[in-house]
Structure 1
């Protein structure tokens, strides 16, 4: 059962207080503080992508195109994205549906799919509420998906077999801040966005990166690392995602690092049972998205993800959004069930039910996009 009395007292780090003690008071001074926070998260939580991964060249090939998909409502594209490095190649696929009834470049919702590929079936023989492509296309948006396991297997023994291994020498000892699975998944999201920039049917300035659970953790980090994402969507992302670590409620730092040691960098394990020693907390991850749009979704039965902690992260990022003239989200403004709170460009909703990404959640996210992008 949920009981807020189970949450210990805690003090959050100030996202506007620099490492040398100065306070950021203007949007002009935010980029330098943002860079500090990024380095702290890279060092202590998500790991550092190697320079070669950031500067590699990529190739895009449309391996299938069907302009009459969804009974003529959409054009299907399956895109192979390949990266070459030191004589080796890594490749993964993006599935994409573009609405045919909308003129001009259209915005895109990109899912970092942490479930099986049947959930994003390009043939539509299987239609999953986890990725309701027909619903999103009918709203006038393109919808895309990649399989996170194609970037890094979701396994502690093999997670370096994907793109991580492409950029690392075999047998080399991995440093404590080496990138791990979540960062690799987010890197794949950025490569999908690289493709979007080449496709005249798509609007690369209006791309939402979406993730559920572990995929939501990856989506938040993808949005922090890559400022081209206009909207970042975290659905039930919990510990290491939207939920405040210092609340020590539901999934904790120790539990996530013990059960899934391949998600975060090895240095994060130093804070198992020592959340108060973390130099950052997750409200600062959300602050890294400012002044862009962010949507956080929770479910009332999903206590493991700490819905209250997810909401509070969004609220406690308010001082950074205020630098850009955005209204604050009060910490006592957590909305009622099924009644989204929108303080543009941010949104929070909590729905009835358990740990899942549903058509109701997708409806909330496309509703926000309507308000942001018309």
Structure 2
């Protein structure tokens, strides 16, 4: 076992050392042109929402689907929901707690995952934040009734996860990222799912959602088929299948941090049932412009995490100038629904300025619908949120989700996303 572990370390270290050094110097950013979201690939100007909806939106969507995130091969054969646990007096009487088992079936194979749902007592038709967690539903709360995931889990000494398995020792280790009490007191619910139950976050397509769809002798998705980000987005939509039919829920805002921020954006694009979308520090392949080649790049991300995107995305590695789109057009596909993009000043790997510029460039599509986003004269200042239909903030600190972030999201949702 030690020999295998050492060999893995050597291989992983070799991959990291082979990658180019990240650029954090604005003067070294290559010259590039930002593709206009309101000019079609053929050069046609888009002047109204009808042209956008019928023509331009579709061609941008199809490019992202086939060349970046990958296409879902087919519909499920069956899916099911079962409330396996419920308590109407959770969180000292503040909430109703439900745990819902979701079953997905395709080609005679099944996959199951659990939704943890808290709804505020005393609030009918509450809006709900839906977001993935990184290590299990039991990590977001100290609530002893929350089921511990049995799915593969990335080892983390700080979070007390070893042997790729979560245990009671990891209960509540991520409460700092989920201010559930504050959400409930403000009338919001929370639905969360462990993303590893949908697709384990490793470069191995032998298990997880993808494997339900394989034909005989197939071991990984085809070139233009879905990577893990698209699979995680698909899982969010399956959670939405349940949530939209819960009569105590008014609307659902999809949220994600880091790689799960990328998944939340793609879920928001592919599923119009989400009333709003929040991207927290989503970086490369999320909200940040790829063509800036600042911090993490396509080469970095497709080398370190080759399972996240479709295989076709790798051909743009170190060739960002050949991309006919950029991530601001992904953001534009969410219009006119509310969208919040957030950065952190010390999170240079995720390129805060690139996320801000992307939000600015996407705003012209929001303006087409008569909605307000970021103007080209806005500046990104630390801890000074811009609260509009397309909103943005850059907070002090590092790559994380903080109570400050959630405070801004709830202020914004009160006005724009309920």
Query: TM-score by structure 1 length?
Result: 0.94
Aligned counterpart for 1:219 among listed residues 242, 254, 264: 264
SS in 1 for 2:387: strand
Q: Distance in 2 between matches of 1:294 and 1:160?
A: 34
Could you report, residue by residue, the CA deviation over 1:193-236 in whole angstroms, capped at 9, with x for unpaired residues? 11012211111xx2111100000011001111111111111000
2:46 equivalent to 1:24: yes
SS in 2 for 1:247: coil
Query: TM-score by structure 2 length?
Result: 0.84
Instruction: Classify 1:9/1:213 alpha carbon distance in 2 versus 1 (closer, same or farther; 3 Å).
Output: same
2:197 equivalent to 1:150: yes
Match in the other structure for 2:237: 190
**CA root-mean-square deviation:** 1.7
SS in 1 for 2:102: strand
2:398 equivalent to 1:354: yes
Aligned counterpart for 1:236 among listed residues 281, 303, 310: 281
Q: Distance in 1 between matches of 2:187 and 2:206?
A: 38
Instruction: Classify 1:91/1:247 alpha carbon distance in 2 versus 1 (closer, same or farther; 3 Å).
Output: same
Q: Distance in 2 between matches of 1:70 and 1:249?
A: 43
Which consecutive residues of structure 1, in runs of 5 or more, have no partner in the other structure? none
Match in the other structure for 1:38: 61
Q: Distance in 1 between matches of 2:24 and 2:310?
A: 30
Instruction: Classify 1:115/1:14 alpha carbon distance in 2 versus 1 (closer, same or farther; 3 Å).
Output: farther
Aligned counterpart for 2:211 among listed residues 131, 150, 165: 165
User: Following TM superposition, by how much is the alpha carbon of 1:116 offset from its aligned partner in structure 2, in angstroms?
Assistant: 4.4
SS in 2 for 1:341: coil
Q: Distance in 2 between matches of 1:279 and 1:140?
A: 42
User: Following TM superposition, by how much is the alpha carbon of 1:170 offset from its aligned partner in structure 2, in angstroms?
Assistant: 4.4
Match in the other structure for 2:70: 47
Q: Distance in 2 between matches of 1:122 and 1:75?
A: 15
2:133 equivalent to 1:113: yes
Q: Distance in 2 between matches of 1:30 and 1:122?
A: 47
User: Following TM superposition, by how much is the alpha carbon of 1:2 offset from its aligned partner in structure 2, in angstroms?
Assistant: 5.2
Aligned counterpart for 1:74 among listed residues 82, 85, 95: 95
1:95–1:122 Cα contact (<8 Å) kept: no
Q: Distance in 2 between matches of 1:200 and 1:160?
A: 37
User: Following TM superposition, by how much is the alpha carbon of 1:348 offset from its aligned partner in structure 2, in angstroms?
Assistant: 0.3
1:74–1:99 Cα contact (<8 Å) kept: yes
Instruction: Classify 1:346/1:5 alpha carbon distance in 2 versus 1 (closer, same or farther; 3 Å).
Output: same
Instruction: Classify 1:355/1:59 alpha carbon distance in 2 versus 1 (closer, same or farther; 3 Å).
Output: same
SS in 2 for 1:353: coil
1:18–1:24 Cα contact (<8 Å) kept: yes
Match in the other structure for 2:375: 330
Q: Distance in 1 between matches of 2:206 and 2:243?
A: 26
2:366 equivalent to 1:321: yes
Q: Distance in 1 between matches of 2:257 and 2:378?
A: 23
User: Following TM superposition, by how much is the alpha carbon of 1:245 offset from its aligned partner in structure 2, in angstroms?
Assistant: 0.0
Aligned pairs for 1:250-329 within 5 A: 250-329=295-374
User: Following TM superposition, by how much is the alpha carbon of 1:101 offset from its aligned partner in structure 2, in angstroms?
Assistant: 2.0
User: Following TM superposition, by how much is the alpha carbon of 1:115 offset from its aligned partner in structure 2, in angstroms?
Assistant: 4.0
Q: Distance in 2 between matches of 1:252 and 1:116?
A: 29
Aligned pairs for 1:201-212 within 5 A: 201-203=248-250, 206-212=251-257
1:156–1:260 Cα contact (<8 Å) kept: yes
Q: Distance in 2 between matches of 1:332 and 1:170?
A: 56
1:114–1:212 Cα contact (<8 Å) kept: no
User: Following TM superposition, by how much is the alpha carbon of 1:122 offset from its aligned partner in structure 2, in angstroms?
Assistant: 6.9
Q: Distance in 2 between matches of 1:209 and 1:144?
A: 9
1:107–1:142 Cα contact (<8 Å) kept: yes
Q: Distance in 2 between matches of 1:138 and 1:98?
A: 10
